[in-house]
Amino acid sequence: MKLLKILAATTAVAALLASPAFAQTRIALVVKSLGNGFFDAANKGAQEAAKELGDVEVIYTGPTAATAEAQIEVINALIAQQVDAIAISANDPDALVPALQKAMERGIKVISWDSGVAPEGRQLHLNPSETALIGETIIKLAADYLPEGGDVAILSAASTATNQNAWIDAAKAVLPAKFANINLVSVVYGDDDSVKSTDEAKGLIASYPNLKAIIAPTTVGVVAAAQVVTDQGLIGKINVTGLALPSEFKQFIDNGASQAVALWNPIDLGYSAVMLANDLVKGGEAKPGAKLSMGRMGELTLDDTNSGAMAAPFTFDKSNIEEFSKIY
């Protein structure tokens, strides 16, 4: 009897507590694991989006261990809270599918961002960037500082790395049309190994005396190349650029071995994810060819698998490397 009374009382309290929650759109930003600077930065962007939208509350959550099982427990808790949308960076593209399907069955909008979920487990996927944009960006990074043109070389990861090769092909494709005075002399492979990348960078410098820039679209290669340029006293003669983690690469922007590098911006990513989730909650429909709003980041166009690319990689130079090196 007493228990029944308690239960009745708690239900009454629960009902009272529940009512104000419905006034807002609640979007859960679920990350691979908490305590990771990249995702904390994404949350910063998500909060910015919430502020801009006004009626949106962002719930930033994720497991401590980066496992699919732990993420499912988080998803179950969010389903129980009847959130309006879940935007997730997945620890496993397949294992989360049943849990996310359950969420969708109960009327929750589900999108994945950064690290995707298989198409049947989400309504859309937000890629940080896409092959063509990355290919163009890495050439542009070098060309921006070579007004008269000149020889450049690419230091890649493994020759079998699918994403690297796709980016390099895209880079080659834009060269004749947009960067006619840039001459790509060689593509070498450092296998994402510091020692091999260093040797390959040294080889490039020895073989091409007129080399003006080394482009390394890999975070390992770019650091190795910048170190070689620094050690050989070639700062100012050869510009190193590519895709780099700001925290690892800050010293080479500071010492002048590199003018600028690029990578995805987690703040923009979190911002766009919340904007897209909000769009779906407010009636937007995710289907191939659809255009959805990402606020200040523009529009996302969905492809056949309902995924889309946010933007070209974000450029880091002297003006902002300090700020971003603290984030990731």
What does the binding site for other proteins look like in residue numbers (CB under 8 A)? Answer: 6-7, 10-11, 13-15, 17-18, 21, 33-35, 59-65, 67-70, 72-74, 76-77, 79-82, 92, 94-95, 97-98, 102, 106
Distance (Å, rounded) from C-alpha 289 to C-alpha 301?
6
Q: What are phi and psi of 117, to 5 degrees?
A: -110, 150
Question: Residue 75 and residue 30: Cα distance in Å, rounded?
Answer: 8
Q: Nearest 5 degrees, angle CA 289-CA 294-CA 300?
A: 20
Q: How far is the CB of 185 from other proteins (least distance, A)?
A: 34
* Contact of 310 with 294, CB cutoff 8 Å: yes
| Closest distance of CB 118 from other proteins, Å | 8
Q: Which is nearer to other proteins, 97 or 302 (CB)?
A: 97
Least Cβ distance, residue 5 to other proteins (angstroms): 12
The smaller minimum CB distance to other proteins, of residues 82 and 301, is found at 82
Beta carbon nearer to other proteins, 58 or 174: 58
Least gap, CB of 256 to other proteins (angstroms): 39
Q: Letter for the amino acid at 310?
A: M
In angstroms, how far is the first alpha carbon of the chain from the final one? Answer: 56
Helices within 122-263 (DSSP H only): 131-143, 162-178, 194-207, 219-231, 246-254
- Rounded CA gap, 171 and 167, in Å? 6
Q: How far is the CB of 186 from other proteins (least distance, A)?
A: 30
Smallest gap, in angstroms, from Cβ of residue 3 to other proteins? Answer: 8
Q: Which is nearer to other proteins, 91 or 123 (CB)?
A: 91
Check if the beta carbon of residue 126 is closer than 8 Å to that of residue 276: yes
Nearer to other proteins, 7 or 206 (CB): 7
Question: In whole angstroms, what is the distance from residue 204 CA to residue 195 CA?
Answer: 14
**Closer residue to other proteins, CB minimum distance, 98 or 288:** 98
273: part of which helix (H) or strand (E)?
A: helix 266-281
